[in-house]
Amino acid sequence: MTMSQHTSPYRGVADRRADSILIRPALPEDAAQVIAYARGVFAEPGINLITAPDEFNPTTEAEARMIVEMNRSSNSLFLVAEDDGRIVGQLTLQGGKRRHVRHAATLGITVALEWRNQGVGQRLMEYAIDWARAGGVLTRLELFVFVRNTNAIHLYESCGFEVEGRRRRSTFRDGEYLDDLLMSLLL
Ligand SMILES: CC(C)(COP(=O)(O)OP(=O)(O)OC[C@H]1O[C@@H](n2cnc3c(N)ncnc32)[C@H](O)[C@@H]1OP(=O)(O)O)[C@@H](O)C(=O)NCCC(=O)NCCS
């Protein structure tokens, strides 16, 4: 099935799909835009992430350093999705720092609200998984996702991730406890 023949019940008529989006490793000069983008996502009401906007205050220099370090490393990756110069998504693989866990990386992903459900997440995931496979260092990708985040779970399962367990009350936000799932993909 080609992208344009996609028939998911969740896709709207204004489906632009992600063919025009550029997926690439982040550069240090993206740092200011990456920070502004991430702040916007963290500030969305009810967003399925654990970081509150006031908990994310890196300097541009620190963010740029982190981008360089991650993309220089053999088990970490910082990707952005770019729409005509504007960052509309990001994916990070944070590889284990210690020798015995260097084969495993934790995945985090967000797509800008106006670009969700159009395949940008899928393109970011495919890039990251291909990169991890080609690198030959990572043999395990893992992530945590709220049980209620059904579109994210759908995306992860479509990329081959499997549920390993449920963490009850892993998060407390907006006055309620939330459970999340630990999911992984063995490469
Ligand atoms: C999760 C997220 C990264 C996915 O990115 P995206 O670009 O929207 O993903 P895609 O469009 O590639 O894929 C979404 C899939 O979910 C499906 N979907 C949409 N709503 C759904 C729902 N309520 N239940 C199940 N599946 C759903 C879509 O149809 C699509 O599947 P398909 O390709 O088989 O049709 C994005 O929604 C996001 O940034 N959310 C906010 C932050 C977040 O939750 N990040 C993940 C934290 S673990």
Extract the tokens encoding 31: 């740092």
Could you tell which of 1, 10, 48, 144 is best to mutate to test the pocket of ligand 1, judged by most ligand atoms within 8 Å of the CB? Answer: 10
Q: Hey, whose CA ends up nearest to atom 3 of ligand 1?
A: 110
Q: Which of 86, 106, 76 is nearest to 37 (CA)?
A: 86
Q: Hey, whose CA ends up nearest to atom 29 of ligand 1?
A: 10
Q: Hey, whose CA ends up nearest to atom 44 of ligand 1?
A: 48
- 114 Cα: distance to centroid of ligand 1 (angstroms): 12
Instruction: Read off the amino acid at residue 185.
Output: L
Residue 21 has what pLDDT? 95
Q: Under CATH, which number does the domain 15-186 receive?
A: 3.40.630.30
Q: pLDDT per residue over 132-147, tens digit each?
A: 999 999 999 999 999 9
Q: pLDDT per residue over 6-43, tens digit each?
A: 455 555 444 556 788 999 999 999 999 999 999 999 99
Residue 161 has φ and ψ, to the nearest 5°, of: -70, 145
